[in-house]
Structure formats: C-alpha cells, structure tokens
Amino acid sequence: MNNLHTDNAPSLAVVIPPFIFGSLSFFMLTILIMLTGSDLLGVYFSGKLLAITHLAVLGWATMIVLGALYQLVPVVFGTGLYSEKLAHVTFGSFSLSIILLVYSFWNSAFSTTLLWAASLMFISLSFFSINILMSTRTGTQNIQSKYVTTAIIWLLLTALLGLLIAFNFKFHYFSQLHLHYLKVHAHLGLVGWFLSLIIGVSSTLIPMFLISHQLEQKNLHYSFYLINGGLSLLTLDWLFLKGTFLIPLYWAVITLGILFYLNFVREAFVKRLRKGLDTGMKYTVLAVVSMLLPVVISIFLLLKYEGDNGFHMRAVTLYGFSIIFVLITPLILGQTYKTLPFIIWLHKYKELVGKYKTPMPKDLYSEVLGKVQFVIYYGAILIFMAALLLQNALLIKTGSYLLLLVAILYNINVFKIIFHKIQTESISA
C-alpha cells in the first residue's frame, strides 16, 4: 500500500455516516425480508419486493459505496475530495430519499410519496456524482478511473429513468408498460452502475490486497469497451426499438466483457504473493467467481422458456437475487473488512507509527465473528436459492432468520471498528 496517497484522505465525518446508515439498512433489509416471508415467491413487481430491492441496492449497497468512494478516490487516485460540505449535504438528502422511497413502495404510495422520494433521490445522486467527478478529473487517469467515471454516469442515467418511471405512475406518458422500463432501469443500475464500479474498484484493490504485480491491463480495457458498448446498445434497443432479435447479441458482448475481467482476476490470484485469504478476501473471491451465476440465469431468460410461467417468474426473481445477494452483497461484506478497518486505523494511528507499537487494521474487528458470519451467510444464500426454485415458504423463513443473524454479526463488527479506542504500547516494551 506504499503507493496510497493517504494525505488526501477526507475527515471521518464524511466517511463514517454512510457506513453506519448502510450497516443499519442491511439490518432493516433482513427485517423486511422476514416480514415479507412467502410473498417473496410471488410476482417480482409487488410493492414489498420493490421496497426490499431498493433498500438493498440504495440503502445498503450504494450507501456503503458512497462512504468507501469518498475515501478511496482521494487515497487511490491521488486527489482531494472536491467538497466535504457537499458530501454532508448528499448524505442527509440521500438518507431521507431512501426512507421515503422504501416507505412509498412498501405502502404502495406510487402516485404520492414516491414522486417526492424519486425527485430527492435524483438530486442526491446528482450531488454525489458531481463530487466524485470533480474529484477524479484532477487525479490519476487510468483504466480504473475510467470505470469509476463511467459507473457514475450510468448511476445518473439510472436515477433519471427511475424519476421518469415514478412520475409516469401519475401522468401516464410512457408508451409501454412499467415493467418494460423497470427492466431497463434495473440493468442500468445493476450492470452500468454496480458492475462497472465493481470492476473499477476491485481491479485496484484485489491486486493490492493479494500483492499481485505485473498484471495484464489489456483485459480490463477489453472488458471496459465490451461491457459499456453492449449495455449502451442494449439500452437503446430496449428504449427505442422495444427489444429486437439483437438483444441476445448485446448480452453476449457484455458477457464477453465479464469474462475478460474474470481473466484479470484469475491472473491476479495466480501471481499473488500473499497466499492466505482472510475473511474479507474469501468473500471477495467467491463473489467474483459467482459473477457467472447471473450470466447463466440470464441465458435461460433470453431463451424465453415457454413452459411453466410460474417457474419463469421465479427465475427472474432468482436472477435479481443472484446479482444483489450473490455478487454485490458479498463484495460489500468482504471489502468492509478490508477498507473500513484501514480507514479507521489511518485516522487514529497514522501519526503514531514509529513512535509506539500499534495494532494492525485487521485487529480492529473480530475475525472469529467474521468467519462465523461468512459460513452463515452462504448457508442462508443457498437456502434462499433453493426456496425460490422450489417455492418453499419454510425455506424462505429459515433463510431470513439466518440472514438476520448475519446482519447482527456484521453490525457488531462494523461498530466495533468505528468505535475503536486507540491502543498503543511503548516500542521498548
């Protein structure tokens, strides 16, 4: 980590609130899943399922990403954060918009509260985008920074389409059904925002944590153009041509881009100097490998299987579940244990290094709790996937209880890290 620009790190007051809100959102997410129960086996356009989905991707995943990027962009790309004041305003407005959005979906307030929530959401994400884009323009320019910048653009487009969908519930100006535009909205967010960001950030952090050198960067360049090109064509086709026979071709282009990225990760893993994997890296490696699962499910959906329509609907739910809970959530769980301890350690011990014996970043949380959480999480995920395929309410209940336990263990460790008290010993001791 010698090439990190730690002097550019923002204040903890900017970084920590999103981690706290995100961690509590993960806990609330598991509560809502428990309350929904067997309704998860129903149609994927229900108000409760939309509430759960948006709490997962916004309150949990995107909120954590906000905190992480406020730290990582200055430290990794060698630039100061454009405005800490704007970051504070963004956190307040984004938090409120998430609460309003989840409330409006849960209570089916599509033509009232949802309009205010979506408007505030778009404003909040615009603030965040401005802050990050203005920060990265003066920093290191490489393929990773291109991924981050492009991900921000996709995020804005996702928020804009979400805003248009919300107002369409009241003013009815779209020519197609809501489900059509919701499909576009979901892929802009999950592929454009999250996948681009995951590749951009992980292609920096994975080699750093594994201590892998001399990696082939052309894999990342191929991946960048294939994923963004394929998604752009896919989006234009869906929006203006309503979905032509070329859709599978665009999806094949995106899939090829994913394979180039996975080849980059494979090379990093093969060339690593650090052989052992802690809990954070185990989450990360499994999540990256599991990136192939939604790809496989999407192939099934593209074939437009005409058999059991109920099974097809469950496959759509499983597709979204695999992206959110098999790819995105494990990456966040894993990288929390890599980035948050370092953030806290940096602020509390940077000036004490060389003067006292200090703990390592990994000492700021309980590795035992992390390992237990890891096992329970993947047990819960396997149970949920079986429940969705078999349409089994008992398995849904079992998985939801296990996921709640994961959220509790995760929050214990997060707050243990955040409220860590400085511990030092004399070097001569």
- Which residue, 76, 174, 173, is CA-closest to 132? 76
Residue 429 reports pLDDT greater than 70: no
Query: Per residue in 367-418, pLDDT tens?
Result: 999 999 999 999 999 999 999 888 899 999 999 999 999 999 999 999 999 9
Q: Which two tokens stand for residue 291?
A: 């990136």
**Chain length of the chain:** 429
Contact 377, 333 (CB under 8 A): yes
Contact 339, 361 (CB under 8 A): no
Band of the pLDDT at 304, cuts 50, 70, 90? low
Q: How many CB atoms lie within 10 A of CB 75?
A: 22
Residues paired with residue 353 on neighbouring β-strands, in sequence order: 356
Residue 428 reports pLDDT greater than 80: no
Contact 81, 14 (CB under 8 A): yes
In the chain the first and final C-alpha atoms are separated, in Å, by 27
Residue listed under structure tokens 């597709």: 319
Residue 291 reports pLDDT greater than 70: yes
- Which residue, 399, 382, 311, is CA-closest to 38? 399
Residue listed under structure tokens 């979905």: 243
> What one-character DSSP code corresponds to residue 368?
H
Query: Per residue in 122-171, pLDDT tens?
Result: 999 999 999 999 988 876 788 988 999 999 999 999 999 999 999 998 89
Band of the pLDDT at 329, cuts 50, 70, 90? very high
What pLDDT was estimated at residue 120?
Answer: 98
Query: Per residue in 178-225, pLDDT tens?
Result: 788 999 999 999 999 999 999 999 998 899 889 888 888 999 999 999
